[in-house]
Amino acid sequence: QVQLQESGPGLVKPSETLSLSCTVSGASISTSYWSWIRQTPGRGLEWIGYISDGGTTNYNPSLKSRVTISVDMSTNHVSLKLTSVSAADTAVYFCARNFDYGASVWHDAFDVWGRGTLVTVSS
Amino acid sequence: QSVLTQPPSVSAAPGQRVTISCSGSNSVMRNDISWYQQVPGTAPKLLIYDTYKRPSGIPDRFSGSKSGTSATLAITGLQTGDEADYFCATWDPNVQSVFFGGGTNLAVL
């Protein structure tokens, strides 16, 4: 059974860098695509980006200049870094696995999610 | 203006059938649609992918379809446990980004 667990600071100061980690258990991160998604009451769900099983990344154009998603194969972690944060980046952040079936990966289908972690941007 | 538009809320009685719409432009709706169920305080759960397919473990009470510029999630035999927020999503290859609808709150009265 694949499980994901997000971790990281719950409070980040404006203009600083938000750093989150997603621990993947029950599966190797080298065999799937992994995404980060955030949710706010006002803006709903927002896709941040993904990293493929081959290490290719793809980011939401609106966040692309500030986002980096990476993996650590040795620890089976997926990481998210978001620079120059502001109050607008306050959200619950989820890591999720992209659904795959056969040889296909769905960019908009996420079949395993972490519980999410609330990050508040405030001084 | 959202790329995918959903009604804010729908309601129906237990045992009834309800539909939730997700509309977008011609170009956006050419792509496949996914649907999610989210109970408050929990992560979204994948119900439908590739517009009408169900992942393993999702009951056939949930079905997806698409016609023109609108996709639809139908739920039959409504149960109180179906009360949740429902989101549609799509991948737009032209923009290389995933878009989510604003969500629809389902009340089972």
- Could you report the average pLDDT of every consecutive run of 10 residues in chain A (123 residues)? 96 98 94 96 91 94 97 95 97 96 88 97 96
Q: Average pLDDT in the B39-50 region? A: 96
- Using 50, 70 and 90 to split pLDDT, how confident is the model at B32? very high
pLDDT of residue B1: 64
Tokens representing A61 are: 């154009």
pLDDT at A43 (0 to 100): 75
- Integer Cα distance of B29 and B7 in angstroms: 17
Q: In this complex, is the C-beta atom of A19 within 8 Å of any C-beta atom belonging to chain B?
A: no
pLDDT digits (tens, 9 = 90+) for B67-87: 999 999 999 999 999 999 999
Give the DSSP H/E element, type plus range, for residue B92: strand B84-92
User: Is A108 an 8 Å CB contact of chain B?
Assistant: yes
Radius of gyration over every alpha carbon of chain A, rounded to an integer in angstroms: 14
CB nearest to A109's CB, from B46, B99, B101: B46
Structure tokens at B6: 């959903």
Measured between CA atoms, the residue of chain A closest to residue B45 is A111
Give the nearest chain B residue to A57 (CA atoms).
B96
The nearest CA of chain B is from the CA of A23 a distance in Å of: 16
Q: Do A99 and B45 touch (CB under 8 A)?
A: no
pLDDT (0 to 100) of residue B101: 96
For residue B105, what pLDDT band results from cuts at 50, 70 and 90? very high
- Sign of the alpha-carbon dihedral angle for A25, A29, A35, A38: positive
pLDDT average, residue stretch B43-48: 98
8 A C-beta contact, residue A109 and residue A47: no
* pLDDT of A102: 80
Task: Determine, for residues A108 and B34 on separate chains, whether the beta-carbon distance falls below 8 Å.
Answer: yes
Does the distance separating the beta carbons of A45 and B33 come in below 8 Å? no
A115/B43 Cβ within 8 A = yes
The owner of tokens 């939730």 is B20
pLDDT digits (tens, 9 = 90+) for B60-69: 999 999 999 9
Average pLDDT, chain B: 95
SS3 state of residue B70? strand
A44 interfacial to chain B (CB closer than 8 Å): yes
| Residues on chain B bordering chain A, Cβ-to-Cβ distance under 8 angstroms | 31-34, 36, 42-46, 49-50, 55, 87, 89-91, 95-103
Enumerate the β-bridge partners of residue A11: A120
